[in-house]
Amino acid sequence: MTSRPLPAQLPRTDLTRHRRLREQGSLERADLDAILDAGFVCHLGVVVEGRPLVVPTVYGRDERHLYLHGSVASRSLAGGTPVCVTVTHVDGLVLARSVFEHGVNYRSAVIHGEARKVTDPDEKLEGLRRLTEHATPGQWSYARRPSRKELAATTLLALSLEEASVKIRTGAPDDGDGPDAELGLWAGTLPLTAVWGAPVADPLLPADVPVPGHIARREGTRHG
């Protein structure tokens, strides 16, 4: 691992080149970072005996790597297995005048690489810390950290953030200045927002245990 930062522009490769809807493609690393930071669940794709398998899993990150909870796919992940990790935020429906122009406002990052099983205990602990803090900032300091045995029972994958591509669609439908505008139909977007609710205590929890501030203060905030 080097400390040199990754370039601000994502590389244009056979895997990241945008073949379609080019206007939605971004090769800005800042866009990639923002999409990754806004979520905590990704879809991990692997090839198993020639067939694709796509499973949801949680992730965290540092500047150069994504860390994935990998048990689901671990049977398929011998060293150097190619994976594809996709993180998508759905921001709303694009309701055009014509069905043909309908679509979705979204932000999506697709990362290509070879997943590496993290075996060094220190790196694994640090990866798990990042994964835990990514989903719930403040929780690593609050909860009981993994024992040596638990650490050994956890499969953590690392994936370089070097080769990735981003697609973003925002805003109104595209048929507002075409012939369909004459139809007199309503057109616009219907936003979709994910919001954190009120913490629900474990029924087995004694009534006098307070909700810690780092959890309580998320209520009502937006996710994604």
Q: Which of 33, 34, 38, 102 binds its own copies (CB under 8 A)?
A: 102
Nearer to its own copies, 8 or 205 (CB): 205
Query: Beta strands 81-95 and 103-117: pairing type?
Result: antiparallel
Considering only residues 115 through 144, tell me which ones interact with its own copies, judged by CB under 8 A: 128, 132, 135-136, 139-140, 142-144
Query: Beta strands 81-95 and 41-48: pairing type?
Result: antiparallel
Binding of its own copies at residue 79 (CB under 8 A)?
no
To its own copies, the closest distance from the beta carbon of 206 in angstroms equals: 8
To its own copies, the closest distance from the beta carbon of 62 in angstroms equals: 18
Among 97, 105, 114, CA closest to 44: 114
Structure tokens at 67: 């860390």
Question: What single string gives the DSSP state of each residue in 39-87?
Answer: -SEEEEEEEETTEEEEEEEEEEE-SSEEEEE-HHHHTT--TTEEEEEEE
To its own copies, the closest distance from the beta carbon of 156 in angstroms equals: 12
Binding of its own copies at residue 56 (CB under 8 A)?
yes
Binding of its own copies at residue 11 (CB under 8 A)?
no
Q: Which of 7, 9, 12, 172 binds its own copies (CB under 8 A)?
A: 172
To its own copies, the closest distance from the beta carbon of 76 in angstroms equals: 10
Q: Which of 38, 55, 117, 126 binds its own copies (CB under 8 A)?
A: 55
Of the candidate spans 4-12, 29-37, 60-68, 150-158, the one that interacts with its own copies by CB under 8 A turns out to be 150-158
From residue 64, give the alpha-carbon distance in Å to each of 2, 60, 80, 185. 9, 11, 17, 47
3-state DSSP assignment of residue 209: coil
Count CA within 13 A, CB hemisphere, residue 40.
11
Q: Which of 6, 34, 58, 162 binds its own copies (CB under 8 A)?
A: 58
